[in-house]
A and B are shown apart, each in its own frame.
Chain A
Amino acid sequence: MKSNWNDAPGGFHPASAHDFLPKAQLRQIQLQRLQAVVKRAYARQQLFRERMGERGIGPEDVKTLDDLSHLPFMVKSDLRDTYPFGLFCSPMEEVVRLHASSGTTGKPIVVAYTQADVEVWSQVMVRSFAAAGVHRRDVIQNAYGYGLFTGGLGAHYGAEALGATVIPISGGNTERQMMVMQDFGVTVICSTPSYFLHLAERAKELKIDFGKLRCGVFGAEPWSDAMRERIQAETGIKAYDIYGLSEIIGPGVGAECFRQDGLHIFEDHFLPEIIDPETGLVLPDGAEGELVLTTLSKQAMPMIRYRTRDITALNTEPCPCGRTIRRIRRIGRRSDDMFIIRGVNVFPSQVETGLLKVEGTLPHYQIILTREKGLDEMEVQVEVTPEVFSDKVRALEDLHQRLETAIEHVIGIRAKVTLVEPQTIARSEGKAKRVIDRRKL
């Protein structure tokens, strides 16, 4: 095993050792952990035990990793139905932390961690940072929201465990973010990609650069490759994608390495499957479908076969970085992000890709769906930034036209583009809300 500390970009962190395990050894660890976690959930999660009972199977039926496909799924509504503590597998004296989702649709979902869970979480975050070449000499500005949202504390603990200097600035207060970035010699930023774009715009307006900033670790919302290219071109930093969800652990389920070609899943802790979202059947490697994750080491709240709603594909090809853990393709869309308009399936990421084809536009956009006289209309509001604004009507009308054409090109139907004033679309300090559906179906 390599032992050099990653004090320079491209170096190696000891916690990353599990990223490089021989396949056979990894599979063995996965099977042992899978059997243990199924046993634990069966003994302590009533819902899981009942569903296993309906299928006439028990923990002893998990003999190989392939047997996973016989186990029942968990879905988000299971967390709501058992709100707040119904899926906990540890007594409260062992639970050291609770997080909760924002609960935009009714009750929030609550997730729990034991001390060991928090430590696993920190380790996978260390591995995420290390994969992006972040090391202990880095100064990390953590602009994920601190609080019930897992992003802030997840990145925070990971950054500390890595040995880096972490600035717990949380989201919001753009001016202070810029000041801190300059004055504290920040080299790495963690935030949602849309919030970073917002910072980039402000920096441009204030005519300040990003100082020593070298890379960003961006997650918590789907974003497109086009958006990454734009961020990298506009700001000169490397933009890495990180994946996670509270139900599984928070950020740190998977992360990109320097190749930026898919996210390595830390599969010694989170076992990935891809299923057909319609039939629930497991799809072969490389096929596109819904990502299903099983927590292999979680104590307080194990999740067996949790349906993430994220659409991706598993890549088993060896990565040039040397990691043996598998990769998922970047998640540009979620199955529940998709909307259907005039019979066409549309994902917000497709609209984003269209918008980014037009020179100079930064994708602060929102999609508004309405129904008038039985006909669905799709409006895309795009903010007019100083870069694209012109004093000439013709130039703006031309921009308008090009935006409409670019969107039509990607999704195949015409959307009405409305140019709006800057800052009129709500900025996310958490996740960007891309679609507002006002249709009364």
Chain B
Amino acid sequence: MKLRQLSLFLENLPGKLRGPCEALGKAGVDILAMALADTANFGILRLVVTDWARAKTVLEGTGTTVKVTEVLPVEVEDRPGGLARVLAAVDEAGLGIEYMYAFAAGARGGKKVVVFRFDEPDRAQAVLQAKGLKVLEEKEALGST
């Protein structure tokens, strides 16, 4: 199972980030990784959480627009050039990265996890695995913290 990420639509206004985060806090859902994309007009908050289904219900209850997207958590060696190696594989295969961000958790056995949003997630997974790179299962990614 690929890792499921929640994307939240936010207006680009002060205080808009707080509401959803507080709602998740109250519901006991932990945020494991996040990235915020912002434009002058709006923002998109992407979250990896401990329980995406529960988080989605909670957030929708607060009137937030939420979308579930499958992303790939890829193991990256925690040393200089570690990420570059992954990106080389991506580039050689002609894959497009929509966006990426790092897992907040610390290194585990000399590895870190970077979350990738590819336009072609299935092909990306196959390409990376063929290059000997590890793409984590959802369970592994969530348990890796």
Contacts and interface: CB of A to CB of B under 8 A. Distances in A.
A285 interface: no
Contacts of B60: 205
B65 A384 contact: yes
A390 B65 contact: no
Contacts of B65: 384-386, 389, 421-422
Contact of A393 (B16, B39, B63): B39
Nearest to B19: A421
B66 A392 contact: no
Contacts of A396: 9, 39, 42, 44
A54 interface: no
Interface in A258-279: none
B7 interface: yes
A359 interface: no
Given A391-B7, A420-B11, A421-B10, A386 B41 contact: no
A418 interface: yes
Interface string A358-398: 00000000000000000000000000111001111110110
A400 interface: yes
A421 B11 CA distance: 6
A419 interface: yes
B5 A418 contact: no
Contacts of B69: 391
Contact of A391 (B5, B10, B11): B5
B88 interface: no
Secondary structure dominating the interface of A: loop
A391 B67 contact: yes
A397 B41 CA distance: 9
Interface range, B side: 20 to 34
A418 B11 CA distance: 9
Secondary structure dominating the interface of B: strand
B134 interface: no
A423 interface: yes
B2 interface: no
B144 interface: no
Contacts of A205: 60
B112 interface: no
Interface in B1-60: 5, 7, 9-11, 16, 37, 39, 41-42, 44, 46, 60
Nearest to A400: B41
A389 B37 contact: no
Contact of B7 (A389, A400, A419, A422): A389
A200 to B, nearest CB: 16
Contacts of A384: 9, 42, 65
Contacts of B10: 421
Contact of B42 (A386, A391, A394, A419): A419
B67 A389 contact: yes
Contacts of A422: 63-65
A389 B7 CA distance: 9
Contacts of A391: 5, 7, 44, 46, 67, 69, 98, 117
B87 to A, nearest CB: 19
B36 to A, nearest CB: 11
A424 to B, nearest CB: 8
| Centre residue among A400, A420, A421 by max chain B CB count within 10 A | A421
A390 B37 contact: no
A389 B66 CA distance: 8
Interface string B63-96: 1111101000000000000000000000000000
Nearest to A416: B41
Interface string A404-436: 000000000000001111111000000000000
Contacts of A420: 11
Given A397-B39, A418-B41, A419-B41, A390 B63 contact: no
Nearest to A418: B41
A205 B59 CA distance: 12
B9 to A, nearest CB: 5
A394 B60 CA distance: 23
Nearest to A390: B67
B41 A421 contact: no
A421 B67 contact: no
A236 B41 CA distance: 34
Contacts of B5: 391
The 8 closest A-B pairs by CB, nearest first: A391-B7, A423-B63, A391-B69, A389-B65, A384-B9, A393-B37, A419-B42, A389-B9
13 contacts: A390-B7, A391-B46, A391-B98, A393-B99, A394-B98, A396-B9, A400-B41, A419-B42, A420-B11, A421-B16, A421-B64, A422-B65, A424-B11
Given A386-B66, A392-B98, A424-B11, 10 more contacts: A385-B65, A386-B67, A389-B67, A390-B67, A391-B67, A391-B117, A397-B39, A419-B41, A421-B10, A423-B63
Interface of B: 5, 7, 9-11, 16, 37, 39, 41-42, 44, 46, 60, 63-67, 69, 98-99, 117
Interface of A: 205, 384-386, 389-394, 396-397, 400, 418-424
